[in-house]
Structure 1
Amino acid sequence: MTVTHQEELDGLKAIGRIVANTMQAMARSMEPGMTTRELDAIGSALLAREGAVSAPQTTYGFPGATCISINEEIAHGIPGRRIIAPGDLVNIDVSASKNGYFADTGATFRVPPTRPKLDRLCRDGRRAMEIGIAQVASGRPLAEIGRAIGRFAATRNYTLIRNLASHGVGRSLHEEPTEIATWPTRGDTRRINRGLVLTVEPFLSTGGLWAADGADGWTLYSEPAAPVVQYEHTVVATDKGAIVVTLPG
């Protein structure tokens, strides 16, 4: 989607605020002993209360309102009977639509007690996303997002999952431009147009390189096996930089 009118930006900010508030409320509610299905039910109720509908459910028939991925699961985890335990690394990904506008956000959370190595990974994962967002502006190369994130990851001795990309969003969950790399690439000559709506969502790891399919047809796992974190915002490109629409409020 390309934003051309204030009412479009307002619509994106409205659904962006809803998904951000939902994700944060789910994170605050998370505690050991809770199942991922129970956590998802909290998110589902919050979306419904705001008049929003789950994007993965309506777009792909995903068996949950939100994606909840724990430890070895790095994305698209199905809410179910898995019990959240102390020390778990939990990724919550919330995407939804309202009044024809879509927004997508995600973050990785730690269940106490935490380990310093994972604390650092989470802190740097969020920083990697922020570095990617800083590259978003009218006329800039799309590939600079991945190049900048790649430089940061290399200086910290991290790896990046290289087959889970950022994407256009706004009027649907996934739209053009597709496959926006959050790792260094060559040959991508696309430029960011004014008003472009896209996600920035690097998957930072201590050794993982690829997302591998699980047996359930949805859940993705790190290959090689290693901790992975993901942080994601939906942003709009302007001449002065990026407007982040997935902010709580």
Structure 2
Amino acid sequence: MIKIKTREEIEIMRESALIVSKTLGMLAKEVKPGVTTLQLDKMAEEFIREQGAIPGFLGLYGFPNTLCMSPNEQIVHGFPNNDPLVEGDIISIDCGALKNDFYGDHAYTFSVGEIAPETQKLLDVTKESLYIGIREFRAGNRVGDVGYAIQNYCESHGYGIVRELVGHGLGRKMHEDPEMPNYGKRGRGKKFKEGMVVAIEPMVNMGTHKIHQHSDGWTITTQDKKMSAHFEHDVAIVDGKPELLSTFKYIYDALGIESDEEDEFRAKKLI
């Protein structure tokens, strides 16, 4: 069952989402060659608790860490470990926070130092597909409209769209209805209504869409061992249109990047 949020609940969720955004922004300068993902995980847990929130992933379904850390061919759900990051790596950092009984949950794929041009293109296209999908998340449209838009754009660049893993509704639970696949057909699936909140998260592979799930029950990699990228935003329908609750602004501020990509999805400017 889809749980519609009031305006007041959406504002509470915005606070949780922005805690995740600020956490990713704090980590942005720390993602560099030589650092371990376990070190980043510890920084994130401390930062989230300092904001008066609880790490949303820690203990969820038995997950043992604050962050899902998925480098290179790992798609999602990777465990932080003591292996140092290496120049040319990419790493998806997926983070959640729980405050005032509502979750925030979003992700960004970072480059580690200089990366190959073809890898940068994968990151660019995946992030662009996120906003292409968000534009379709409006009252009266359907789940398939978002999935089709993401799939069509990414496959036009020759990339594979993961089928087994999807975005989701968000609220008092980390995963609520509806499921939000990154593939689909226009006009299919559940209809979007005012007050819905979802996490839209394209997971895009440089090669095949096929995956391999590891025996640890969590880690998922591309079957052909090629790179995978993952970007995620929390989005609400407000006045019939998509409005971002999360932001990459803090990441961009940390890295000195100027961007207006989020402006069309904001009722007011973030400061």
SS at 1:93 equivalent: strand
| Counterpart for residue 238 of structure 1 | 238
Superposition CA RMSD, Å = 1.6
Report what 1:7 is aligned to.
Answer: 8
Q: Match for residue 148 of structure 1?
A: 149
Q: Please tell me whether the aligned partners of residues 145 and 188 of structure 2 are also in contact (alpha carbons under 8 angstroms).
A: no
Aligned residues between the structures: 247
**Structure 2 length-normalised TM:** 0.87
For 1:176 and 1:210, how far apart are their aligned partners in 2? 25
Counterparts of 1:180-191 in structure 2 under 5 Å? 180-185=180-185, 188-191=188-191
Cα 1:145/1:227, change in 2 over 3 Å: same
Tell me the amino acid that sits aligned with residue 72 of structure 1. E
In 2, Cα distance between equivalents of 1:43 and 1:17: 14
Asked if the contact 2:76/2:220 (under 8 Å) is kept, the reply is yes
Q: Which residue of 2 aligns with 1:216?
A: 216
| Paired residue secondary structure (1:29) | coil
The answer (yes or no) to whether the contact 1:209–1:224 under 8 Å persists in 2 is: no
- Structure 2: which 5+ residue stretches go unaligned? 251-270
Q: CA deviation at 1:186?
A: 7.8
Deviation at 1:232, TM superposition (A): 0.2
Matched, 1:43 2:44: yes
The answer to whether structure 1 residue 176 and structure 2 residue 170 are counterparts is no
Inter-partner Cα distance in structure 1 for 2:107 and 2:208: 19
Match of 2:201 in 1: 201
**Residue 96 of structure 1, CA deviation:** 1.4
Q: Residues 127-138 of structure 1: matches in 2 within 5 Å?
A: 127-138=128-139
Q: What is the rounded CA distance, in whole Å, between the counterparts of 1:211 and 1:54 in structure 2?
A: 27
The TM-score with structure 1 as length reference comes to 0.94
In the TM superposition, residue 185 of structure 1 has moved relative to its aligned partner by 4.4
* C-alpha contact 1:202 1:230 (8 A) present in aligned 2: yes
User: Are residues 232 and 196 of structure 1, via their aligned partners in 2, closer, same or farther at CA, if it must alter by over 3 Å?
Assistant: same
Query: Identity of paired residues, percent?
Result: 29
Classify the secondary structure of the residue corresponding to 1:85: coil
Structure 1 unpaired stretches of 5+: none
Q: What amino acid does structure 1 have at the position aligned with 2:202?
A: P
For residue 232 of structure 1, what is the amino acid of its counterpart? E
For residues 189-218 of structure 1, give each alpha carbon's deviation from its aligned partner in whole angstroms, at most 9, with x where no partner exists: 310111111011011122131332112221
Report the equivalent of 2:96.
95
Cα distance in 1, alignment partners of residues 186 and 11 from structure 2:
35
Whether the 8 Å CA contact 1:63–1:79 is kept in 2: the answer is: no
Which residue of structure 1 lines up, in the alignment, with residue 18 of structure 2?
A: 17
Q: CA deviation at 1:246?
A: 0.9
Query: 1:27-68 CA distances to partner (integer Å, 9 max, x unpaired)?
Result: 221121111100111111110100111222242221111111
